[in-house]
Chains A and B, each alone.
Chain A
Amino acid sequence: MAAEKGEKGAAAKEVAGERMVTLESSDGEEFHMSEAAAQLSTLLRHVIEGGGIDNGIPLPKVAARTLEKVIMYCEKHAKAAAKSDSDPSAAAGSSSDNTAAASEDLEKWDRKLVNGLSQDALFDLIVAADYLVIDGLLDATCRKVADMMKGKTPDEIRKIFNILNDFTKEEEEEMRREYAWAFDD
């Protein structure tokens, strides 16, 4: 189940037959993550392949509360990938009902994860997902912020995201005229 790629010089710990890696958050907390889950991060994958991670991988850019969510995401997705790999029906055809339902469940789980975050926690997770190069998590978090913007007026957007309106009244009027039908607020 765990990838073989980490063998080069890495003496990763083993927990219940699964290779684990240790991560250290910016505020000094230690976290453990299965190597299979760590593979979802391109950054961590390269660090593990490079070896020398006996004492853990320091992540000075990721705080503990954010790292916790990152690990939750990676473990969930690694487990789902392993399950579909061992599922014989998935190998047979491209879109069996099982794989479609499983991916829908995973999407629901992702949405629940991002919905439960405060605004600043969500932004921290975006930054972390980008830094650790976890494409799926970056996509899920950015889509959540995009969803927060849908259907809101520019004024509401400014309030939510603390943005200063730097247009003059004349400039605003001109834009309103240009796309009159788009402004239904």
Chain B
Amino acid sequence: MASEEHTVVHYVEKPDTRIPPDFIEEILLRLPISSLLKLRRVCKQWRNMISDPHFIMEHAYRAPKHLLLYLPKVDLPASLCSKTLKCRATIIDEKWSPWTWAALHMDPDDHLFASCNGLLCFYKTYTLKIANPATGQCLHLLKPDGIMLHDFHYLYSFGFHPTSREYKLVHFLREPQRYKSGQPFHFNTIQVYTLGEDKWRDIRVPRPCCMVNLGVVTVDGSMYWLTEDEETGCGMSVASFDLREETFASIQLPPFEVKEIASCATPKIACYITEIDGKVCIVTIPYQSHIPRWRRYNTELSGRMDIWALESQTEHKWFLKYSIQSPSVHRYVPQPCFIHRERIILQDRDGNAWYHDLAGKNVQIEHREEVKLLDIGAYRFYETQSYFYKETLIPLSVYAGAAIVCAPPRPLAPPVA
């Protein structure tokens, strides 16, 4: 019958053992990346199909969404044992099993700041790095000119617009003259880099912004953050930036009940921004006055946490998605995405991470209903970041020719399942 590969092989014509040609794509779309990378070698038709941008986009769309927990590196003090814990990434898959990404080579100064369509963005001391761990491709980019000092990972974000199919990095250019340690992050300008272009562009913000709680999410091609807004009753509003049109909009916060009159100076509600089920959401928690509003550390649950989802980007209508009562024990949530597949991720001060079902709109968190997810050991629980991640074949090599790319890509090994 069949002999070795590479010689011309004449197979006996077996009836219908060949996949109907119209359905090869449908079948390949249902395979994980690890299989697809191997199957590129079967024949030219399959290789061309798997490398086709349309196929890659459709596969990315159907890929299961996972939760990625990122723990920044920790320098343990000499009193403890004087060593450094490297930054760590853990994936929580569909079965809620955590697997640590041993093969994802992160340098010690890598700080994850965004995850989009399988692309992870890292802040480094002198550059930015975008990597697709599934394919091993990697891109190093120069930061905007002159940005070296007083720059932080939370001043960067990354997003994708489904219609223009462009990826953009956004840097919130903090006002230098207003910089003082412990002060909020005011900015009048954002700096935008479109993947494939040669340089960063400055875009003036129509109204000066002050980033509140430093969370940025991108949903349906628009980037959202919270800003101080003196013209509103609660002192805040949601700012949005359309990644295709590069225009700004302002969205009023949801109509949450404010027991006492709030103002910028004496806020009563702490607000955070997140994404749940593909919608921008605002999280409100009773305000704890000793915590500044621009803190970058994670939220402690207290009282009743309300979560409002933006129903429509055009109509600016919100609906109350969850009303969550805190438990009697201390619990914190990682940022920005802490609700996934109808469960909430919670952390305690001892390094434990849990998940708890959100069965309906009104939920009371009970310790006995928490399921242990993992133990983060000596990492700082209040610095845990959480993003959505999916394995995709999105290529980065197509953007490698731009002038801004500054170091040759280094191949990374794939995650071990």
Contact = CB atoms under 8 A, between A and B. Distances in A.
B41 A163 contact: no
28 contacts: A94-B360, A95-B342, A119-B16, A119-B17, A123-B16, A123-B20, A124-B16, A127-B23, A142-B26, A149-B31, A153-B38, A154-B38, A154-B41, A154-B42, A157-B39, A158-B43, A159-B2, A162-B14, A164-B43, A165-B6, A165-B9, A172-B6, A172-B41, A179-B37, A179-B136, A182-B37, A182-B414, A185-B38
Given A165-B6, A167-B43, A93 B360 contact: yes
Interface string B1-43: 0100110010100111111101100111011101101111111
Contact of A138 (B26, B32, B136, B360): B26
A143 interface: yes
B360 A164 contact: no
Interface of B: 2, 5-6, 9, 11, 14-20, 22-23, 26-28, 30-32, 34-35, 37-44, 46-47, 135-136, 342, 359-360, 411, 413-414
A126 interface: yes
Nearest to B6: A169
Interface in A131-185: 138, 142-143, 145-146, 149-151, 153-155, 157-167, 169, 172, 175-176, 179, 181-183, 185
A123 B30 contact: no
B16 A146 contact: no
Contacts of A95: 342, 359
Instruction: Name the prevailing secondary structure of the A interface residues.
Output: helix
Residue of A126, A149, A151 most packed against chain B (CB within 10 A): A149
Contacts of B41: 154, 167, 172, 175-176, 183
A156 to B, nearest CB: 10
Contacts of B46: 163
Contacts of A4: none
A49 interface: no
A166 B15 CA distance: 21
A120 B16 contact: yes
B44 A167 contact: yes
A130 interface: yes
Contacts of B20: 123, 126-127
A162 B35 contact: no
Instruction: Name the prevailing secondary structure of the B interface residues.
Output: loop
B39 A161 contact: no
Interface of A: 93-95, 119-120, 123-124, 126-127, 130, 138, 142-143, 145-146, 149-151, 153-155, 157-167, 169, 172, 175-176, 179, 181-183, 185
Contacts of A126: 20, 23, 26
Contacts of A145: 19, 27
A163 B43 CA distance: 8
Nearest to B13: A162
Nearest to A148: B27
Contacts of A143: 30
Given A95-B359, A120-B17, A175-B41, A162 B11 contact: yes
B42 A123 contact: no
A28 to B, nearest CB: 20
Contacts of B136: 179, 181
Nearest to B41: A154
A181 B414 contact: yes
A161 B19 contact: yes
A91 to B, nearest CB: 14
Residue of B43, B44, B342 most packed against chain A (CB within 10 A): B43
A166 B26 contact: no
A176 B5 CA distance: 15
A138 B26 CA distance: 9
A166 B17 contact: no
Given A157-B42, A167-B43, A179-B40, 17 more contacts: A93-B359, A95-B359, A123-B19, A130-B22, A142-B26, A142-B30, A154-B41, A157-B39, A160-B17, A161-B19, A163-B46, A164-B9, A165-B5, A165-B6, A181-B136, A181-B414, A182-B34
Given A93-B359, A126-B20, A166 B43 contact: yes
A150 B36 CA distance: 9
Residue of B15, B41, B43, B46 most packed against chain A (CB within 10 A): B41
A153 B34 CA distance: 12
Contacts of B6: 165, 169, 172
A163 B31 contact: no
A142 B27 contact: yes
Top 8 closest A-B pairs, CB basis? A120-B16, A146-B30, A182-B37, A154-B41, A154-B42, A145-B27, A162-B17, A162-B18
A161 B23 contact: no
Contacts of A176: 41
Nearest to B15: A120
Contacts of B31: 146, 149-150
A183 B37 CA distance: 8
A161 B414 contact: no
